[in-house]
Amino acid sequence: MKKRLGLYIHVPFCVSKCAYCDFYSLPATDSLMSRYVRALAQQIKEWRGPLRDRAVDTVYFGGGTPSLLGAKQLVSLLDALKDHLNILLDAEITLELNPSTMTREDLRILRREGVNRLSIGAQSADDGLLESLGRTHTFADTIQTVDNARETGFDNISLDLIYGLPSQSGAEWATTLSKMIALKPEHLSCYGLRIEEGTPLYFYKDMPEIPSEDAQADMYLYTVSALHEVGLRQYEISNFARPSCISRHNTKYWNLSDYIGLGPSAHSFMGGKRYSYVRDLSAYLHAMDTNAPLIDSEEVIAPSDKAVDYLMLGLRTTHGISGAEYFQIYPADFTVIETLLIQWEQQGWTRRLDGRWSFTPTGFLISNRLIREILDAHTEQRLTVGMPWKREEPLSSLVQMEL
């Protein structure tokens, strides 16, 4: 049986830059997009040999706004995938799209060609907030996009939402959530606003227009409760789904499964090695034309590093971690870490089920601090058993998690 693999395809084009976005993206032009699609098809073909013994069970078109490529160019990429890689018949194939960027006929074509999951960037049901964020759609566009998707056969739809927006009250967030629930999505991703330096929203950092930490915590806990009531169960800090519709692709990131990424700034993790491509479209296209180096950074993951990743990523999920899995990755006693988890269980921050530990919703709220303590415990355990360690910075500095 061929080993499974996930594939991420980055499409770095947007109509305009959203006020909160710090992902790599740039304005879309027809000529540039056509050239990029040809380069991606070439790179897919070049992976034919290295991946001949792998079976691709998830494909994720992310961005940027992949739907801007249009159905015809997306189909050409799907054809390249089918021609050169071992794409399983039951593979989860996800397309990110923004409302109003695809017609009903576009969706019908893509569904027929194998796309079976949509991730729609709805963000809010408040048109005023959407405008202030630089979004180019309205809530009516979101409704129409979902309707079109249903009519063309999509039965696995995810909506992306953001809470904690400037001047947003708890009641306004509850209204947005209610309106999105009414669309009956199989999956919801609800992210707390992160204000990144270099984005337009950075102007609001530490200003009273941004809801306080307590206000955002209330929004988050309300979200967990409200979605649980309608059958959308939390399976990761920011993700909720019906039991059969958990994102198979994103789960690969959290459980340390192999995946490769194609396109500028795309990251990969395969065979115990992590690497990323250049974060520049011109450099990427030049490399594809001239066989110049594409790799921007790479790192071989040592066992103790992998244990760090296991703890950090596993504790993002409600599936959590276990001492047995930890020992398989890094043969050391789990007792030091479990002592902390037991203490936090009494505080209502962790829970234990069938030998696995995970955070509760209130634990997720302070997970940054808790995981720092766990990583420090891991460091203590490493020093106790005297195993080799290659990082110089403290483990606590590695934590980069947000709700």
User: In this predicted model, what pLDDT tens digit does every residue of 92-142 receive, in sequence order?
Assistant: 999 999 999 999 999 999 999 999 999 999 999 999 999 988 889 999 999
DSSP state of 279: S
Specify whether the CB–CB gap between 156 and 187 falls below 8 A.
Answer: yes
* Residues 247 and 239: beta-carbon distance below 8 Å: yes
User: For position 266, what pLDDT does the model report?
Assistant: 96
Q: What is the DSSP letter of 64?
A: S
Angstrom CA distances, 200 to 161, 169, 297, 310, stand at: 19, 21, 28, 34
Two structure tokens written together for 171: 């009641």
Domains, in order of start, for the chain:
3-253 (3.20.20.70), 303-398 (1.10.10)
pLDDT below 70 — which residues of the chain? 17, 22-23, 200, 204, 381-403
- The DSSP output letter for 198 is T
256: left (phi over 0), alpha (psi -120 to 50) or beta: left
| Partner residues linked to 119 by β-bridges | 96, 158
DSSP state of 211: P
Distance between CA atoms of residues 102 and 143, nearest Å: 13
**Looking at residue 24, what is its pLDDT?**
72
Strand partners, 268: 275
Burial 294-314 (b: 16+ CB within 10 A, else e): bebeeeebbebbebbbbbbbb
Q: How far apart are CA 8 and CA 262, in angstroms?
A: 6
pLDDT of residue 383: 60
Cα angle 292-298-300, degrees, rounded to a multiple of 5: 140
Give the pLDDT confidence of 303-348 residue by residue, as tens digits. Answer: 889 999 999 999 999 999 999 999 999 888 899 999 999 999 999 9
For residue 273, list its beta bridge partners: 270, 300
Q: Given this model, what pLDDT does residue 158 score?
A: 98
> What local confidence, expressed as pLDDT, does residue 209 receive?
81
Cα 176 → chain centroid = 22
Give the tokens for residue 38. Answer: 């040809």
pLDDT at 198: 72
User: E-assigned strands of 290-388?
Assistant: 295-300, 350-353, 356-359
